[in-house]
Chains A and B, each alone.
Chain A
Amino acid sequence: MKQLVLLSLIETFEMVGVSMVLGTAIGIILATLLVLTRPSGLSPKPFIYQTLGIILNAFRSIPFIILIILMIPFTRFWAGTSIGTAAATLPLTFAASLLITRIIEDALNTTPKGLIEVGKALGASNLQIIMKIQFREALPLIVSGLTTISINIIGFSAMAGTVGGGGLGDLAIRYGYQRYDFTLLIIIVIILIAMVQCVQTLGNFLSARLKK
């Protein structure tokens, strides 16, 4: 039983870790694109901005559990199967990148206009302004946003359990709920609480350290 819990814990870490890393990478790219092309951005491109915005909002409005089902064909193509940890990672990554795009976009948009003008007046390129001014200034906000999203994704990963995704959530449902093993259920809940606490504390600490 101990081994089962440990294995599930590792699976949860895997799913959350991989989807957060990939999601952040995608989020950075999409958010940069949005911030760059928005009407008051450095390189306004209304068509790209609007289209991207509509697509992202559409996907954001799909409940995660339904997203998993809708994505089954892609998951099968990508992971070769639609069940298991690897399979659950795809919809998780998808959901994570949607959320992360949003928080990075918001964080980047908090950059004071004056700072962007400093960059412009210094003759910086658009990429330099985004990377060396906006991302740098927004980092504490991005880190605290990523913390919140990590916690969301831990929750989502439990939902992935319903389609055989593996991980702690899956274990809790199969053993705790379906086999009436309430002790195990409680243990898993405690582990999840501890995990969330750790992530939040770490996130707060990092964000505070980054703020000057």
Chain B
Amino acid sequence: MSIIIKNLEKSYDVVVLKGINLEVPQGQILGIIGKSGAGKSTLLRCLNGLEEPSAGNIMINDQPFTGIPDKDRRRIQQKIGNVFQSFNLLSRLTALENVMFPLKLLKQDPQASRKKALKMLHLVGLKGKENDYPSQLSGGQSQRVAIARALISDVSFLLCDEFTSALDIETSLEILELLRDLNKRLGITIILITHDMAIVREICDEVCVLDKGQIVEKNDITSILLYPQNAVTKSLIRNLINKDLPHHLQEKLMKKPTPNSAALFRLFFSSQTAGDPIISSIVKKYDVPINILFGNLDHIRETAFGCLIIAIPYEVSKIDAIVNDLAIRDVSSEILGYLPQKGCFT
């Protein structure tokens, strides 16, 4: 029960996707993130069968999904749920009828479909809204109906296309929570595409960064957020986790140490290291004054992590020793630059 993409390529007049290799195991929540035009929508449309790839193949639950007759493809499509940015509900059907719609297409028994749809609507938290028409529902409610519709035919995959773009932040968070809950309860694999790292951070286990039609980085969420490798990834998370020096200090930052300057360290603590009294032990061990210039504590999913920017008066021998020491203690550190001591020890 997984999705395997091999050497996928899609081009119209221009190449949109190239050399995409991706494996999504059952139960994972994968975020595909990229700027607009990166090809993420096209990738998703290849996965839900709305586009046929130009080359490469996709295996869904060990069955080929590409290069097969329409009829066979439709059968697999029926096991993939889709949630769209604009909800795409049928305006002349009630919430309940919308949820029943996929089963109706499959010509299933109306009585049983109805029961199942009712259960599904309750699961997404829409009790009492069964007979409302989409025009009577709010954006969040509409998206819940769309999610119920996507899940009704016992799908193993849920593909979400920028599904929170039309919702306000609070509603988005509620919907994300719902998805996470459904993922835990029903074990469905969720692939979502977005340009918003905040969404990814809320929900994804694994992140895949797409740029110019290629996967430029793929890692678990914590690593992506804390140690992004690619420039695109870095720019996408720039505003997400505040770990940067205040602006007025950044302007004074020097690249090389000068006499009477202080070295600025940025330290990252994860849940495991956050308990150690690192700062005080360095102060004692090396007999250096330490000034904290910036601090932030944050959470990614269930992992707490902290970021601290400290200034230590520059002394070649001590600085090197401290760097080694921090590495041994498993605290990730980097030297941001140097400030005149006047600027940080006043």
Which A residues fall within an 8 A CB radius of B?
Answer: 112, 114-115, 117-125, 128, 132-133, 136-137, 139-140, 210-212
Contact = CB atoms under 8 A, between A and B. Distances in A.
Interface stretch (B73-81, B121-129, B213-221): B73-81
B82 interface: yes
B172 interface: no
Contacts of B76: 123
A121 B82 contact: yes
Contacts of B93: 136, 212
7 contacts: A115-B88, A120-B50, A121-B49, A121-B50, A123-B78, A136-B92, A212-B135
A137 B102 contact: no
Interface string B47-83: 0111000000000000000000000011111101010
A122 B105 contact: yes
B256 to A, nearest CB: 56
A139 B88 contact: no
Given A125-B74, A212-B135, A114 B88 contact: yes
Interface string B4-29: 00000000000000000000000000
B294 interface: no
B74 to A, nearest CB: 4
B92 A210 contact: yes
A122 B92 contact: no
Contacts of A117: 50, 84, 88
Interface in B85-106: 86, 88, 90-93, 101-102, 104-105
B345 interface: no
A112 B93 CA distance: 15
B133 interface: yes
B88 A212 contact: no
Interface in B28-46: none
B92 to A, nearest CB: 5
Contact of B90 (A124, A128, A136): A136
B92 A118 contact: no
Contacts, number: 61
A123 B90 contact: no
A121 B48 contact: yes
A115 B86 CA distance: 10
B77 A115 contact: no
A117 B80 CA distance: 13
A118 B82 contact: yes
Most buried by B among A123, A124, A137: A123
Contacts of B75: 123
Given A114-B88, A123-B105, A137-B90, 12 more contacts: A117-B88, A118-B82, A118-B88, A121-B82, A122-B78, A122-B82, A122-B101, A122-B105, A128-B105, A132-B104, A136-B93, A212-B93
A132 B82 contact: no
A212 B133 CA distance: 6
Which 3 residue pairs across A and B have the least CB separation, nearest first?
Answer: A123-B74, A123-B77, A212-B133
Nearest to A125: B74
B298 to A, nearest CB: 36
Interface string B229-258: 000000000000000000000000000000
A132 B102 CA distance: 11
A120 B93 CA distance: 18
Nearest to A139: B92
Nearest to B84: A114
A122 B77 CA distance: 6
A140 B92 CA distance: 10
A212 B95 CA distance: 12
Contact of B91 (A120, A132, A212): A212
A1 to B, nearest CB: 47
A211 B92 CA distance: 7
Contacts of B50: 117, 120-121
Given A122-B102, A122-B105, A137 B91 contact: yes
Given A123-B77, A137-B92, A139-B92, A118 B105 contact: no
A136 B135 CA distance: 16
